[in-house]
Amino acid sequence: MHNFELKLPPRIISHYKKIQNLKNFKAKFSTYKKPIKESYNSDRLSAA
């Protein structure tokens, strides 16, 4: 991976890392969002 990075211009490397960060963020966000929605629905049902 490091050899691969050395051959690329810094601009492309930073762009690639941004994309990776975005993917990681989206994955985290989607896994984080689901439990909140489920707990919200269960809270509403128990309150009703």
Query: Does the predicted model carry a pTM greater than 0.75?
Result: no
Residue appearing with tokens 């049902």: 45
Q: Is the pLDDT of residue 10 over 70?
A: yes
Could you tell me the CA-to-CA distances from 7 to 31, 35, 42 in Å, in that order? 35, 42, 52
CA 2 from centroid of its chain's CA atoms: 23
> DSSP letter at 48?
-
Are the beta carbons of 24 and 32 closer than 8 angstroms?
no
CA 47 from centroid of its chain's CA atoms: 32
For residue range 22-37, list pLDDT tens digits in order: 998 888 877 776 666 6
